[in-house]
Amino acid sequence: MLANILTHTRAQPSRTGSLIVTLFGDAILPRGGTLALASLLEIFRGLDIADTVVRTAVSRLTADGWLDRNRVGRHSFYRLTQRAIAATQAAVPRIYGPAPAWDGKLRLVIDPGPDRAPLLAAGYGAVSPTLLISPNGPHHTLLAEAPPETLQSLAARAWPLPDLAARYETFLQTFPATIPPTPDALLIRLLLIHEFRRIALRDPQLPPQLLPPDWPGHPARTRAATLHTRLLPASEQWLSHHATTESGPLPPASSPRTFR
């Protein structure tokens, strides 16, 4: 099972640093937020990622302001910085939460000027250089209603829906509908959330009325939620028995990440 998933992930560009951030955001932050470098290396050896690669990625994340290091004797311990925690928490609803409710109206921003880039980063789609749209964006100059076919046509022009659909299809092909009990639960959980996160954070979370029929994002989210729930107990048990902080084993999760 893990070998098949790794075959897919190895075909992607190296993202060890991003995998580390995923691990901290999904599994470590709810359990106090600190992890020993030795534990991190052990986890990534299970993914056949060399210690030198992990150490290099950790150094870069620290230099870039994503990780803080605490040395105790010869041992190093890492946690997300406050900036990284804020970014992680902001992403949680996009990854684990349902799409927001929609009132049937599009938010229009006409001639956004210097606000164009921040609005696109916030999830607005560009119909043209001077017209941005969003079903739920907080910043707008007009509200618009139109027939469903017109709304779908605008959405198809504003967002890269075929690319997103292809990514979701690949996700469904990579992660099977059922996963038997496995000692690799934490590793599969890490890869599952990492791959789903990469797509979900690009997804504008459009309501069904704006999406093509048979949108693969819906079964992909269901698949991610189902597998994450099944992998959670065994993966949390592994962390309890193997992962450490400065003061010993990881504390229990105050509120484990769960899909809603």
pLDDT digits (tens, 9 = 90+) for 182-225: 999 999 999 999 999 999 999 999 999 999 989 999 999 999 99
Burial class for 168, CB neighbours closer than 10 Å (0-12, 13-18, 19+): buried
Of 131, 112, 234, 124, the C-alpha closest to 184 is: 234
- Residue 14: pLDDT over 90: no
d(Cα 155, Cα 139) in Å, to the nearest integer?
18
Q: Bridge-partner residues for 68, per DSSP?
A: 79
* CATH number corresponding to 2-104+145-249: 1.10.10.10
Question: pTM for the complete prediction?
Answer: 0.92
Average pLDDT over residues 112-117: 90
Residue 176 has what pLDDT?
93
Residue 140 has what pLDDT?
78
Which two three-digit tokens encode residue 181?
Answer: 């009990």
User: Residue 109: enclosing H or E segment and its boundaries?
Assistant: strand 106-110
Residue 144 has what pLDDT?
77
User: What does the pLDDT look like over 141-164, one tens digit per residue?
Assistant: 787 788 888 888 999 999 999 999
Check: CB of residue 133 under 8 Å from CB of residue 154.
yes
Q: What proportion of the chain, given as a percentage, has pLDDT over 90?
A: 73
Q: What is the DSSP string of 139-186?
A: --SEEE---HHHHHHHHHHHS-HHHHHHHHHHHHHHS-S-----TTHH
Report residue 12's pLDDT band, with 50, 70 and 90 as the boundaries.
Answer: low
Of 84, 104, 188, 190, the C-alpha closest to 151 is: 104
Average pLDDT over residues 53-57: 97
Average predicted confidence (pLDDT) for the chain: 92
d(Cα 54, Cα 90) in Å, to the nearest integer?
26
Residue 87 has what pLDDT?
95
d(Cα 89, Cα 31) in Å, to the nearest integer?
14
d(Cα 242, Cα 226) in Å, to the nearest integer?
25
Check: CB of residue 180 under 8 Å from CB of residue 234.
no
The residues of the chain that CATH labels 1.10.10.10 are 2-104+145-249
- Residue 121: pLDDT over 90: no
Residue 11 has what pLDDT?
63
- Residue 2: pLDDT over 90: no
Burial class for 95, CB neighbours closer than 10 Å (0-12, 13-18, 19+): buried
Residue bearing the bigger pLDDT, 14 or 139: 139
Residue 132 has what pLDDT?
93
User: Residue 57: enclosing H or E segment and its boundaries?
Assistant: helix 51-63
